[in-house]
Amino acid sequence: MAIDYQKLKNRRFAEIVHTYSARDTMLYALGVGVGSDPVDAKALDFVYEAQLKALPTMAAVLAYPGFWLKEPDTGVDWTQVLHADQEIVIHKPLPPTGTVKATSRVDEIIDKGPGKGAFIYSSRTVADAATGEPLCTLTQNTMARGHGGFGGSTAPTPASQEIPPSAPDFSCDLPTLPQAALIYRLSGDYNPLHADPAVARQGGFERPILHGLCTFGVAGHALLKTCCDYDVTRFRRIKARFSAPVYPGETIRTEVWRLRSGVAFRCRVVERDLVVIDNGFADVG
């Protein structure tokens, strides 16, 4: 398959209007592991309706356009697609219930050359459906392996956050449930890779893997807990690169370095001592 640069760059997306309930907000939080400590009152606010709050990373599932790169008009072989980077900018704390709207767009397609890959940058700004006020902006970088050489942009990819060579200032270990992927998928990402063992084996994995955005949500939870004391008004931006998959049931350690402005972070699976999210930056505190 070959990418048609102009066709993909100018692809039109339908506006998505998404109404979500308190149940959806709690389900998302449970999917990324919040509530593992039943007496942590501050964490309870994200999984119990009495004083319900929305996790900042829940932005990832609001007005989600679905796996649109699987559509034949994209010119992309979806089996060669990898989620490379994700960024979420929070303009104001997400309401725990509401109706939002967003229209996705393709911002750029970077051609790494024949025999190499292509980076597809897409974004959407999620706004309150009634007022039009922006709530969050999401930018995603998707790598299409083996799709280079189509004549797209040869601009360099944006620089990643460097991780300091020193030991982290602090870290946070959060467990994931063996059924974490089965819970997270109920927030809208039904890719069978995360549920069906046969599909996972076809993809080269011994069993279903955790959604990358679920791992991203665990990292967001760790930062909200350790840097913001669960105050969502202090959480303004998070960006990171996906480097390896996580298996449900593994423990994710988020390592954090203080910067002059914000923090750098990365995540590793404790059981395999493997970095799974790298080059992270968050505007928190």
User: Which tokens sit at 126?
Assistant: 């999620």
User: For residue 86, which amino acid is it?
Assistant: Q
Tell me whether residue 194 is one of the annotated catalytic residues: yes
Catalytic residue from among 24, 189, 211, 221: 189
Residue 186 CB coordination number (10 Å): 13
Burial class (CB in 10 A: 0-12, 13-18, 19+), 209: buried
Question: Judging by DSSP bridges, how do beta strands 235-242 and 98-102 pair with one another?
Answer: unpaired
User: For residue 181, which amino acid is it?
Assistant: A
CA distance 253 to 271: 10
The CA radius of gyration of the chain, in Å to the nearest whole number, is 18
Catalytic residue from among 24, 45, 147, 194: 194
CA-based torsion, 26, 32, 38, 43: positive or negative:
negative
Angle at 123 between CA 122 and CA 128, to 5 degrees: 160
Tell me whether residue 189 is one of the annotated catalytic residues: yes
Would you please indicate which residues are annotated as catalytic (active-site) residues? 189, 194
